[in-house]
Amino acid sequence: MIRSLIVDDEPIACRVLAAHLRQIPDVEIVAQCTNALEALRLVREEAVDLVFLDIEMPTLNGIGFVEAIDPPPHVIFTTAHRDYALDGFELDAVDYLLKPIGFPRLVRAVEKYRRRHTATDDSVEKTAEEATAPTLNIRVDRRTVRVALPAIRYIESLSDYVVVHTDTDAHTTKERIRDLAEQLAPHGFIRIHRSFLVAPWHVNAFTAQEVQISDQTLSISRTYRKQALARLREDEA
C-alpha cells in the first residue's frame, strides 16, 4: 500500500486529486493538508510514502517544504505553473504534473514512483508489465542484447553508433538513430534532436528548449521542436 499525503491550499484541487487517487487500488490517502506547515508536522509524525505537493502556497511553498525535510520524502509536484519544472527536477521529484491533472497522467506518475521505490542499488525489479513488454534487440560486443522498451530512457546518437540509456545500463551499438526512430515511433518514442530519441514516460520536466530525464538535460532542436512539443503535451493529457 502506498501511503500518500495531499498538500494543496485549493480545496477543489484537493478533492479532485483525492477522487482520482481513490481509483488506484493500492494508494491510501493518509491525510489532506491545506498548507505546507501542517504537512511538515504530519510527515514527522506519520509514515508517508508519497506526497502530492502543490508549489505556490502561502507562508511556505512546496519547494521550501521539500528543502525543510532531511531526507526529503518522495514527491510528485502538482501545480498550475510550468515555471517551477526545473526546480522540481533539481529536487529529484518523482514527477511534475500540471493542473488540471488527468487520471491517465496521474496513473503514469504513480507508476514512476513504483519503479523508483522498487529499485535496488544494482537493478530495478521488473513489474509484470515490464516482464511481458516488447523489446529492442541490439548487437553489443558480438552478443544480442534484449532491452525492454519501458526501461529505455533515451537513445543518443554518436555518428554511426548509438547509446541506448536504460534504467540501469548504457548499451553502445552500431546503429543509426534514424532507423531506430522509425522502429520505435509506434511505441511512443519521440525524436527531439538529430542526436536524441526519448521515451516520454521517463521525462520528468520539459521546456521549449530541453527535456529533463533523470539527471540528464537533453536539448530540443529547432527542427524537431514543433512535433516534439506537441507529442510531449499530448502525453500530459
DSSP string, 121-165: SS-BPPPHHHHTS-EEEEEETTEEEEEEGGGEEEEEEETTEEEEE
| Bond before 58 cis per omega within 30 degrees | no
Residue 96 to residue 205: CA distance in whole angstroms: 7
Pairing of strands 205-206, 196-198: unpaired
Q: For residue 175, which amino acid is it?
A: E
Residues 61/88, Cβ–Cβ less than 8 Å: no
> Which residue reads 521517463 in cell numbers?
202
- Give the distance from CA 215 to its chain's centroid: 12
pLDDT at 83 over 80: no
**Where do the domains of the chain lie, and which CATH numbers do they carry?**
2-117 (3.40.50.2300), 128-236 (2.40.50.1020)
Q: For residue 171, which amino acid is it?
A: H
Residue 42 to residue 9: CA distance in whole angstroms: 16
Q: What is the mean pLDDT of residues 76-80?
A: 92
* C-alpha pair distances (Å), 204 with each of 1, 160, 226: 24, 29, 19
Residue 153 to residue 136: CA distance in whole angstroms: 13
pLDDT at 198 over 90: yes
Residue 73 to residue 71: CA distance in whole angstroms: 7
State the chain's mean pLDDT as an integer. Answer: 87
**φ and ψ of 147, to 5 deg:** -115, 120
State the pLDDT at residue 89. Answer: 65
H or E segment and range at residue 44: helix 36-45
* Residue-wise burial string across 136-151, b where 16 or more C-beta atoms lie within 10 A, e elsewhere: bebeeeeeeeebbbbb
Residue 221 to residue 44: CA distance in whole angstroms: 44
pLDDT at 124 over 50: no
Residue 210 to residue 225: CA distance in whole angstroms: 9
pLDDT at 5 over 70: yes
Residue 105 to residue 101: CA distance in whole angstroms: 7
Q: What is the mean pLDDT of residues 192-201?
A: 95
Q: What pLDDT digit, counting tens, does each position of 9-68 carry?
A: 999 999 999 999 999 988 999 999 999 999 999 999 999 999 999 999 999 999 999 999
